């Protein structure tokens, strides 16, 4: 049997860092990434035959677990009739209609292949629709790896952002204003300084890329009010939260209508598929109707749309999210009790099939506070759980996911392991 380590060495010779997306490399937690050979339901197996209970769900998409029979059947059937045509199909309409049914802030949707592409296109659309260049984003929110979004805060509010990646020209980053999440005063100041030059404000309404941090109700409300007042578009990046925290996404929980919504992950059910949408007015700015160019060879791919559609049809059945949350709640309550039992500070939050936890007394409200988490402790927790066959996200600033395939027994076993691991910390 070939080991994970051998595979990682072989991968590292031909793929930068041995992985095709950085966080898979375990750099934050140390150790050898597991090479996955197959998955079924709430579990996957690595090259050495070790089974794991999966709490990353491919970083969000696998809300039904792996290999759900109805989804599998839809995918196989679609593949048999063709992989890609470069011409429209009825299934694209069906998927978009299904999305629109549940997210009333949108009237039209454009399908793309990744969340990065969707967020990048949403920014271009906002700029094209408003004729303005500047955008606001928040520290700790991730919107994919487009140049304008790989930016951290500059030295002050009057200055613009600095690139967080080599290869991003400072001139590009200069149009991005980066603010602290949940800081209303800073938000108001930024709007009074730059409001009239702002194309949009982009936010994860529940941030899932700094573990799990909700935008507070007053903060989210102020984002909406200020965008309306200054004529900037409010963009909710719901790539992670869309169809994951609720059928209507985080916006349905918060009761806020964004101007543009960005979706991905769950809407593709594990296939490369993402989307962005808004009102007819805004979306009509897109080519071929309008002047904002956007295109894609594989956009609305027939196999991906079949996978997404079958997934959405199942998760839109009554009680799906209530049942899912029972499982999520079982997990986070169990983890909390296990931590407290071992006298470890612990706070946790969850919505639908998405959860976060921190080894600190109170839930953090922004990125700077998230970053004060005891990371050696988290890394020990991660490896302790991994050794016992429970796969959590390999970095403390990532959120976790529960699927409908997780059983009460799966979760109980995870909690039993957590009791042991917390005691050893």
Ligand X SMILES: *Cc1c(COP(=O)(O)O)cnc(C)c1O
- As annotated, the active-site residues are 142, 237, 265
As a whole number of angstroms, the distance between CA 269 and CA 305 comes to: 9
Q: Classify the phi-psi angles of 317: left when phi > 0, otherwise alpha if psi is within -120 to 50, otherwise beta.
A: beta
CB of residue 273 to ligand X, shortest distance in Å = 9
CB of residue 319 to ligand X, shortest distance in Å = 26
Q: Roughly how many angstroms between the first and final C-alpha of the chain, as a whole number? A: 32
Nearer to ligand X by Cβ, of 41 and 264: the residue is: 264
Nearer to ligand X by Cβ, of 57 and 302: the residue is: 57
Nearer to ligand X by Cβ, of 350 and 421: the residue is: 350
As a whole number of angstroms, the distance between CA 35 and CA 45 comes to: 8
Q: Which is it for strands 162-163 and 151-152: parallel, antiparallel or unpaired?
A: antiparallel
CB of residue 120 to ligand X, shortest distance in Å = 9
Minimal CB distance to ligand X: which residue? 115
CB of residue 366 to ligand X, shortest distance in Å = 16
As a whole number of angstroms, the distance between CA 136 and CA 116 comes to: 17
For residue 418, give Cα distances in angstroms to 58, 86, 327, 351: 22, 49, 16, 21
Q: Classify the phi-psi angles of 169: left when phi > 0, otherwise alpha if psi is within -120 to 50, otherwise beta.
A: beta
Nearer to ligand X by Cβ, of 237 and 410: the residue is: 237
CB of residue 119 to ligand X, shortest distance in Å = 5
As a whole number of angstroms, the distance between CA 222 and CA 137 comes to: 14
Q: Which residues bind ligand X (CB under 6 A)?
A: 114-116, 119, 142-144, 204, 208-209, 237, 239-240, 264, 274
Name every residue whose Cβ is closer than 8 Å to that of residue 9 and which is 6 or more positions away in sequence: 18
CB 33 within 8 A of CB 24: yes
CB of residue 392 to ligand X, shortest distance in Å = 17
Nearer to ligand X by Cβ, of 23 and 331: the residue is: 23
Nearer to ligand X by Cβ, of 115 and 270: the residue is: 115
Q: What six digits make up the tokens of 205?
A: 């309404």
């Amino acid at each position: 049997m070939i080991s994970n380590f051998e595979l990682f060495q072989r991968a590292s010779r031909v793929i930068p860092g041995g992985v095709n997306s950085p966080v898979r490399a375990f750099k934050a937690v140390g150790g050898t990434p597991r090479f996955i050979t197959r998955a079924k339901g709430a579990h996957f197996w690595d090259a050495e035959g070790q089974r794991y209970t999966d709490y990353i769900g491919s970083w969000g998409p696998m809300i039904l677990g792996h290999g759900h029979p109805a989804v599998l059947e839809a995918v196989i059937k679609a593949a048999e009739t063709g992989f890609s045509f470069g011409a429209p199909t009825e299934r694209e309409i069906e998927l978009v209609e299904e999305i629109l049914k549940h997210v009333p802030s949108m009237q039209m949707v454009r399908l793309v292949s990744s969340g990065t592409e969707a967020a990048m296109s949403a920014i271009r659309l906002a700029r094209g629709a408003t004729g303005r260049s500047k955008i606001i984003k928040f520290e700790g929110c991730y919107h994919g790896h487009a140049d304008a979004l790989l930016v951290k805060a500059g030295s002050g509010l009057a200055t613009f952002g600095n690139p967080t990646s080599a290869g991003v020209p400072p001139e590009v980053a200069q149009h991005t204003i980066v603010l602290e999440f949940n800081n209303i005063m800073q938000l108001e100041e930024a709007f009074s300084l730059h409001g009239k030059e702002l194309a949009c404000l982009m936010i994860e309404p529940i941030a899932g890329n700094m573990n799990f941090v909700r935008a507070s109700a007053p903060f989210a409300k102020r984002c909406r009010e200020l965008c309306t007042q200054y004529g900037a578009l409010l963009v909710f990046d719901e790539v992670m939260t869309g169809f994951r925290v609720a059928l209507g996404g985080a916006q349905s929980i918060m009761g806020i209508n964004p101007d543009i919504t960005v979706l991905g992950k769950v809407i593709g059910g594990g296939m490369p598929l993402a989307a962005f949408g808004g009102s007819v007015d805004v979306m009509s700015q897109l080519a071929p109707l309008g002047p904002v160019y956007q295109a894609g060879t594989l956009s609305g791919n027939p196999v991906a749309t079949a996978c997404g559609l079958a997934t959405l049809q199942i998760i839109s059945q009554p009680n799906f999210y209530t049942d899912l949350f029972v499982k999520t709640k079982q997990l986070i309550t169990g983890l909390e009790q296990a931590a407290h039992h071992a006298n470890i500070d612990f706070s946790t939050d969850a919505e639908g099939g998405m959860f976060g936890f921190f080894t600190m007394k109170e839930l953090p409200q922004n990125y700077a506070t998230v970053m004060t988490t005891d990371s050696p402790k988290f890394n020990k927790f991660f490896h302790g759980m991994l050794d016992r066959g429970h796969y959590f996200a390999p970095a403390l600033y990532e959120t976790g996911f529960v699927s409908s395939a997780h059983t009460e027994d799966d979760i109980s076993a995870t909690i039993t392991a957590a009791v042991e691991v917390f005691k050893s910390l």
